Amino acid sequence: MLKKKYTCVKVDQQKDGITWVIFNRPEKRNAMSPTFHAEMMEILTLLETDKDTKLVIITGEGVSFSAGQDLKEFFRETDGKPEVKAKAGNDSKWRSDKLWMYNKPTISMINGFCIGGAFTQCICCDFSIAADDAIFCLSEVNWGILPGGMVSKMVTDTFNQRDAMFYACTGRTFNGKEAAKMGMVNYSVPLKNLKKETLKLAKELLEKNPNVLVATKHAIRSTQSMSWRSSADYLAAKAAEIKIKDAARGHDAYAEGIRQFIDEKAYRPVFSPYVGAADGVTTAKGGKPRASAARKPKKAAASRASVKRIVKRSPAT
Ligand code: COA
């Protein structure tokens, strides 16, 4: 549990393992100053090993997620001060290097303005959900720089070339619905449902085996830039890592998952994780079969019929 209070960021830790990290400079639309970056770097570093935190949600207080770098404090006031500038630059890597391979799942909840440098933390969180009417903008071209600090690279990796070029060069705004279409966020919802939908995703993730989940997110990230051969080796090593981490809590996800489905019929993998995936209380240790395991003959027959229909429709291979 984090006890310290911060000036630019609020940390709200829930009992269920969800920790909210809330940018808290609403009067500056949550623009990111050097102090803001130093605090975020410290907070994320502490939360990564904090036993009460299983998942992190990042969002902004007020009408803005973040208005990007603070033009006054991050840029102008550090000009001519190379040491201060370098420190601010290093601290600002919480958005990229830190979040990209973070050891816990992360969600960015985009509640309003998401501008320039704030694209980084939006994209580098594992999941992102926006309000339909959130406003996204690569404003850099309008105030005299290019989208630096890796923003151009991230946008190019995330959007298609046409959209990346268009929005970087025009500086036009787009909303949450358009951000979802371009793959910048997973989906958008009306602002009034934003928190509820974000929590729904968070709780779904918390039901998974945490070691499997983290290895999976690392696999999705890392294999992007690896060769076929290296990916195969990396994935095999990551699978072994899951076994080692699970063994430390008296668990074997792979064996348990198969056993509960094939032998006990305690769950069905298409509908839910196995019993005890999250907390280790498996059926072998008194955990109860999942409701989704109940097999209803009528429905099963119906779903077999629909499978047949799908197979029939599929083109011959
Ligand atoms: N850097 C520094 N200060 C910022 C800022 C930023 N990126 N974004 C907003 N602010 C400050 C404003 O200067 C203003 O401060 P003041 O009250 O001391 O005058 C305050 O936040 C509120 O801004 P305002 O423009 O009045 O709010 P708004 O709700 O009408 O508009 C924005 C919000 C985000 C559209 C607008 O502030 C804006 O265009 N900000 C710049 C965003 C940007 O280009 N970021 C750089 C990305 S690299």
Which residue is listed with tokens 């994935």?
235
Summarize pLDDT for 201-237 with one digit per residue, the tens: 999 999 999 999 999 999 999 999 999 999 999 999 9
Atom of ligand 1 nearest to the CA of 143: 44
Atom of ligand 1 nearest to the CA of 118: 47
Q: Looking at residue 1, what is its pLDDT?
A: 85
Summarize pLDDT for 48-61 with one digit per residue, the tens: 999 999 999 999 99
To test ligand 1's pocket by mutation, which of 27, 29, 155 has the most ligand atoms within 8 angstroms of CB? 29
User: What are the phi and psi torsion angles at 197 (to 5°)?
Assistant: -70, -35
Summarize pLDDT for 184-206 with one digit per residue, the tens: 999 999 999 999 999 999 999 99
CB 72 within 8 Å of CB 29: no
- Atom 22 in ligand 1: residue holding the nearest Cα: 28
Residue 266 neighbours by CB distance under 10 Å = 22
Strand order in the sheet with 127-131: 9-13, 18-23, 55-60, 106-110, 127-131, 187-189
CB 122 within 8 Å of CB 114: yes
| Domains of the chain, first to last | 9-206 (3.90.226.10), 210-294 (no CATH)
Residue 283 neighbours by CB distance under 10 Å = 19
Q: Looking at residue 299, what is its pLDDT?
A: 56
Say what the pTM is.
0.93
Ligand 1 pocket, 226 CB below 6 A? no
pLDDT tier for residue 305 given thresholds of 50, 70 and 90: low
What is the number of alpha carbons within 13 Å of residue 255 lying toward its C-beta? 8
Averaged pLDDT, 107-118: 98
Based on its alpha-carbon atoms, the radius of gyration of the chain, rounded to whole angstroms, reads 22
pLDDT tier for residue 293 given thresholds of 50, 70 and 90: confident
